[in-house]
A and B are shown apart, each in its own frame.
Chain A
Amino acid sequence: MQNRKYRKIVSFILSLTAIVLPWLIILSIDKEIVENNASGEIEIINFQKDSLTNRVDHSQFEILQQEFTEASQVTEACISCHNERHHEVMSSSHWNWDRETVRANGDTVMFGKKDAINNFCISITSNTWKCTSCHAGYGWKDNTFDFGEAKNVDCIVCHDNTGSYKKDPLGSGMPLDKKIKSNGKVHFPVKLGYVAQNVGTPTVDNCGKCHFYGGGGDNVKHGDLSSDLYHADKNMDVHMDQAGNNMSCVDCHETNQHNMEGKVYSVSSANKDRMSCQKCHTDAPHVNNTLNKHTEKVACQTCHIPEYAKGVPTKMNWDWSTTGRLDENGEAILEKDSTGMVVYKSAKGSFEWATHVKPEYVWFNGKAEHYMAGDLIEDTTAVLQINTLLGEYNDADSKIIPVKVHRGKQIIDPVNKMLITPHVYGHDSTAYGEGFNWVWASAAGMKESNLPFSGEYSFISTEMYWPINHMVSPSGESLTCIECHSRDGLLANVDGFYMPGRDFSATVDILGILMVLLSLSGVAIHGLIRYIKKDCIACD
């Protein structure tokens, strides 16, 4: 008997071990994997950091040891050896600001930075001279600029490795030839010879000079591209972290014959030459398979860039309709907020700024449509999307991406029902900044755009969509499940699909709860009757 009892206990323990032990092992392995993943190495493919720092010492070339008086002389010196490269630059977007674009209606038109309308400074047309200080060329003042002239190509704006090259902010792309003060900083004239002898692969400085200052100021346009990236730490951007990966722009934005990979959808429409995280990180970068399944429909940026404008504020709203307010002396007003950001300017209107901005989220398949100058606006009271990012759940190419939405109010011709390309910058009185007269500015601008102007104007609410791709956060800072998988999560407005945790059918839930309540109340009533009747029987 004793023996039999003992055997029973042993067999119970054995069977329990046989059942429970495998699960404990699996659970602990699973947990280990999860923990390892949190602190472990990230697998990278297709990426090799360039180990050659100076391929060629340009200072030893005789042709570069001359005294350059004109910037174009430097270009000619470059071309004398690199005698094919200028063709590549001259067919690139950095030069043309224009490319063939197929519209939704099938028309093929020329469209790019050159012709685009935005809801910042609105239009290059009639303001060209000011905007082209960021053109990779010299002297694009107006529509007479010769895009076929090779010596106008600015090689050194991208290839200067000294950090001393600077274009004149009001010089239509010409390098600074005099000492100026800008934002409290003193800038000296460019020593062309010195720069020419120290050229090389573009650095963050070269790209940042223009791309961090889109919209005329630090981080104004993009939100995820600011001067913070010159000295990024890990929290600012895991790739450009100077103490870590220390990557530069061109490590990711690979170049093929001076054609850079990467798009900005304020001026692009086609799904080509796009950057991709997957190129290095694969489609299944997580250990957790559930997370990997997300890559089917969710872009990496969505979770890994939980916020943008982590340092310098970015502009969130530009209201042109408030322009023209002057002080009692009839002088232009400049108002700043407590952080020193300009919030009102008589010539420009009202601004709103923000830092650590949570992106909005949209479906995107790499294609965009644009409002182009002259397009008729059917409903002038509705919010107009200057650029529309295309995509939807059922489209296999579409993923959810984070975007900065820049909102604003800008000038429209309510009679002709089209956006006005106003002449805002200039030294003449028709420039709004000088004359404070929208009719004059509109007439001048529309004339330049070859578009009609009725003489009347009003303001329309507009939106621009800027995909957020930079300022990638460390993995620990990524979005967590619950931030989207909840009733009013971050993806509350991304439609077209069922998402666990966010979506539910009220009918199903009510039916279900009713079912449970029915069961509960049924049981309760049944039990109660039994209880009461039991007493009765006892009395009987």
Chain B
Amino acid sequence: MKKRTYIYKRFERFWHWMQVLLIGLLTLTGFEIHSSYNLFGYAEAVRLHDIAAWSFAVLIIFTIFWHFSVGAWKQYIPSTKLLKAQFEYYISGIFKGAPHPTKKTSYDKFNPLQRLTYLGFKVFIIPIQVISGFIYMFYGDLMIGSLEVMAYIHTLFAFGLIAFVIAHVYLISTSDEPIASLAAMITGWEEVDIDPKEEHRRHMQRAVDKSIAGYYRLDARGKFLDVNAAWLKMYKCVDLKNVVGKHYSFTRTEDDIQELNSIFKRVMGGETVIGIPVVRKCKDGSIGRHILSMNPTFQAGEIIGVEGFIIDIEDLDSMKRPMSYTIRNSNAGYYRLNKGGYYEELNDAWLKMYKCENKDNIMGKHYSMSRSKEDLVRLDEIFKQVTEIGETITSEVARRRCKDGSIGKHILSANPVYDGTEIIGMEGFILDISSLDEEKIAVDK
């Protein structure tokens, strides 16, 4: 997989070409000083060599600073992984048209052989040239008896540099796109291989970092390990430090904490909570609403905590709040099924009518659980009418099967749930008529 990527930063490119210029000038003037030819004139050659030497020293200081400040030095850490493969590629594979054994990516732009070579170049050849050069320049002040040894070292490594440059320039041509590789050193941009896994990881990382959904991660004791910026914003916290290490209880009012406790407990037990609307207590004491997901986190197969996302529904909610409270607090049972007939939402009254204690026992289950076999046919019919044709059932007496197996009666309404023009489910209310029935029976009697 290839992607146009910014692989050489502005300073990196400046440094590279400055190095080309200075090493070129140093070599050219250096060999004139060595009496290999006559070009600038000896005095001018010495003057240019000195100026280039000082410039190079300044460049090196900047470069060292840059490498450590942006962590770019890491790309030179030698690695033996694939070193042999890379070597074999150059001495045989390349002739057979074999693919490059390593891929150039923005975070790993040097192959193992390059890493080793450039590291040697930077920590061996260049320092030796620079140090021997400056000793050469100041040998009188340094009370060094003779230039001889320094001169020999300096000359030998100058030849070495030429040899390096020859190989270096040639190796550009081994790239799949030599011109593009060269151009990349000017523009910074190159089409490089990307590691889909690594790219995915980076995207995910970015998604979490930059998401408008809040992310949180708790340890087994319920204490915060990490949250993202969106989380902090939702909770009106400024600093991550104020959150990490604290117990989640500070995120809820006293009334609401029980709910979160039970969710946490369940997830620590291995369950996953997909999305529950909850009420949060922000740092400044204000209240907000969001949908929360929570899943366990594992280490070596053991649950070590939980994590999840929160999505703010404040805006959404503020319009519907009176209605939603009505539904929540109503004595009429509310239900919502998705297109598959599975429960998506229920209120407390519904649960009570069905004699259920826990909403989560029902959520995600099929409506067939709410009827005895003989009564299910009618509900199937209703579900079909509503979800397929879009009819609305205003009132229908139905017999429900409660959780304990007992039978109750209620009046049921059902209407389709739309997402745009598409029916995505069915919702409605139920009103218990069991007691009414008994009264009627009593009257009848």
Contact = CB atoms under 8 A, between A and B. Distances in A.
Contacts of B170: 523, 526-527
Contact of A487 (B35, B41, B151, B174): B35
Interface of A: 15, 19, 23, 26-27, 30, 34, 288, 290, 293, 296, 393-394, 480-482, 485-487, 497-505, 508-509, 511-513, 515-516, 518-520, 522-523, 526-527, 529-530, 533-534, 537
A508 B163 contact: no
Contacts of B94: 530
B35, B94, B155, B173 interface centre (most CB from chain A within 10 Å): B35
A380 to B, nearest CB: 37
A498 B151 contact: yes
B155 A509 contact: yes
Contacts of B95: 529-530, 533
A522 B50 CA distance: 33
B14, B90, B155 interface centre (most CB from chain A within 10 Å): B155
Contacts of A520: 166
Contact of B160 (A394, A515, A522): A515
B269 interface: no
Interface in B97-129: 97
9 contacts: A15-B10, A290-B46, A394-B145, A480-B42, A482-B38, A501-B35, A502-B35, A512-B159, A522-B167
Contact of A481 (B14, B46, B50): B46
Given A296-B140, A485-B33, A508 B42 contact: no
A27 B55 CA distance: 12
Interface in B134-171: 140, 145-148, 151-152, 155-156, 158-160, 162-164, 166-167, 170
Contacts of A503: 148, 151
A481 B151 contact: no
Contacts of B35: 485-487, 501-502, 504
Contact of A508 (B46, B50, B145, B155): B155
A334 to B, nearest CB: 48
A26 B94 CA distance: 48
Contacts of B43: 480-481
**Chain A interface main SS type:** helix
Interface residues of B, number: 39
Contacts, number: 102
B146 A523 contact: no
A503 B146 CA distance: 12
B167 A500 contact: no
A519 B166 contact: yes
Interface string B230-257: 0000000000000000000000000000
Closest 10 CB pairs of A and B: A512-B159, A519-B163, A481-B42, A498-B148, A523-B170, A482-B42, A498-B147, A533-B95, A519-B166, A501-B35
A32 to B, nearest CB: 13
Contact of A505 (B33, B152, B163): B152
A442 to B, nearest CB: 48
Given A23-B55, A498-B147, A526-B170, A533 B140 contact: no
A518 B163 contact: yes
B34 interface: yes
Contacts of A19: 14
Given A394-B145, A523-B170, A290 B42 contact: no
Contacts of B145: 394
B51 A504 contact: no
A523 B168 CA distance: 10
A14 to B, nearest CB: 12
A296 B142 CA distance: 13
Contact of A516 (B47, B90, B166): B166
Nearest to A501: B35
Nearest to B91: A526
B34 A508 contact: no
A530 B14 CA distance: 32
A37 to B, nearest CB: 12
Contact of B47 (A30, A508, A526): A30
Given A482-B42, A523-B166, A508 B33 contact: no
Contact of B159 (A293, A513, A529): A513
B173 A527 contact: yes
A30 B152 CA distance: 30
A509 B31 CA distance: 11
Given A394-B145, A516-B159, A519-B164, 12 more contacts: A19-B14, A23-B55, A30-B47, A290-B47, A480-B43, A485-B33, A503-B148, A504-B34, A504-B155, A511-B156, A512-B156, A512-B160
Contacts of B148: 497-498, 503
B96 interface: yes
A19 B11 CA distance: 12
A526 B14 CA distance: 31
Contacts of B147: 497-500
A533 B97 contact: yes
Contact of B162 (A23, A516, A527, A537): A516
Nearest to B170: A523
Nearest to B164: A519
A501 B34 contact: yes
Contacts of B166: 516, 519-520, 523
Nearest to A26: B51
Contacts of A485: 33, 35, 42
A35 to B, nearest CB: 13
A526 B146 CA distance: 42
A527 B167 CA distance: 11
A534 B326 CA distance: 78
Contacts of B158: 512
Contacts of B151: 498, 500, 503
A59 B286 CA distance: 120
Contacts of A523: 166-167, 170
B51, B95, B96, B148 interface centre (most CB from chain A within 10 Å): B95
Interface string B3-42: 0000000100010000000000000000001110010011
